[in-house]
Amino acid sequence: MTLEAVLDAWIWPPGAAPVAIDAGLINQTHGVAVRGRLVGVLQRLNTHIFRAEVHHDIDAVTRHLAAKGLPTTRLVPTQAGGLWHTDADGGVWRVLLPIGDRTVHKIADVSDAREAGALVARFHAATADLDHAFRFTRPGAHDTDKHMADLRMALMMHRGHRLYDAVARLSDGILDGWDAWEGPSDLPERIIHGDLKISNVRFTGGEATALIDLDTLARGTIDVELGDAMRSWCNPASENVTNAVFDAGIFRAAMEGYRRDGSLTADEWDAIVPGIERICLELSARFARDALEESYFGFDPSYGGRGEHNLLRARGQASLARSVREQRGALQASLARS
């Protein structure tokens, strides 16, 4: 199935053709341009992770955002009026309107963090009154207790693995960290993006414009949403280091931006910092598990193998959790000042 054949499912301006763009790690992604101007983003949905029904959720949320006057991408209907197109091979394709002109892959300027925080707050505020039953979700995506239980099971099942001793030593610290973790478990649910890495924030010049990669939309709690975002934004060293340090300056700027447009309860504000530690521990457990199972996360062979790369990632996230725990008082204080 050629891209040109897939494009025929939509109506395009004359001269539209597929072009390569720097986007899309999960879904196969292409640009569609007319004389160098991007007019659409064509994606093949990764149906190993998502189902086509997710497009009903994306459509409902983006319609609501647009009605509130917030800039947002939108699904472009097919010629048949559908939200997606299924090709002859069963591939699920969609077209989204392009938005913004800049993607940040790593925060180097705290003004980007401040802008991104404000955008996330506007998203949360705008969707607070949306009554939508999600057609597709990923149950248990942040069931931290289950992820810890899965790690314990992997340790029992893979005692002969070449990395077992190293993973077991690291896992002792991860599991002890979770046992000692203190945070809320009864926060209200709200509509969340679900994967707020900074590259899912599109900028127009210096302004954060809109959130993209909306397949993970769901109902969830703010500690998970902002905990995952800050885990990602405030780790300048990336996931591929043994020792990571949480950047309090980026955190402070992001929370200043969020408070500018946000409306959290006092309990939700108090949950943000422990939420960051929770998500770091959770992800370190998932990486440690896959260091033994070698079946889920992608990897870079330059690190030696899937197990070796995931062990490195697990160590990095465990060190980030420790860094958050060590700075907890100062981070909570900066929240109060922001």
pLDDT at 62 (0 to 100): 98
pLDDT of residue 140: 84
| Per-residue pLDDT reduced to its tens digit, 72-112 | 999 999 999 999 999 999 999 999 999 999 999 999 999 99
pLDDT exceeds cutoff 80 at 24: no
Write the CA distances from 259 to 179, 251, 269, integer angstroms: 31, 12, 10
Determine the angle formed by the axes of helices 248-261 and 110-127, rounding to 10 degrees: 40
Q: Which helix (H) or strand (E) holds 282?
A: helix 266-293
Instruction: State the pLDDT confidence band at 25, using cuts at 50, 70 and 90.
Output: low
Q: What percent of the chain has pLDDT above 90?
A: 86
- For all residues of the chain together, what is the average pLDDT? 95
- Predicted confidence (pLDDT) per residue in 120-155, tens digit: 999 999 999 999 999 999 888 899 999 999 999 999
Q: What pLDDT band is residue 26 in, cutting at 50, 70 and 90?
A: confident
Q: Are strands 207-211 and 201-204 parallel, antiparallel or unpaired?
A: antiparallel
Q: Check residue 97 and give its pLDDT.
A: 97
What angle, rounded to 10 degrees, do the helices at 328-337 and 266-293 form?
Answer: 140
Cα–Cα separations (whole angstroms), residue 53 to 60, 74, 133, 238, 278:
12, 16, 12, 33, 30
* pTM listed for this prediction: 0.93
d(CA 276, CA 117): 15
Residue 207: the pLDDT is 97
List residues bridging with 19 in a β-sheet: 31
pLDDT of residue 260: 86
Q: Write out pLDDT tens, residues 181-234.
A: 999 988 999 999 999 999 999 999 999 999 999 999 999 999 999 999 999 999
Domains of the chain: 3-99 (3.30.200.20), 103-337 (3.90.1200.10)
Nearest CA to 233 among 204, 262, 208, 269?
208
The pLDDT, as a whole number, for residue 229 is 98
- Residue 286: what pLDDT? 97
Segments in 25-109 forming alpha helices (H): 54-67
Q: Looking at residue 167, what is its pLDDT?
A: 98
252 has a pLDDT exceeding 70: yes
The CA distances from residue 140 to 44, 181, 219, 223, 311, in Å, are 25, 19, 12, 15, 23
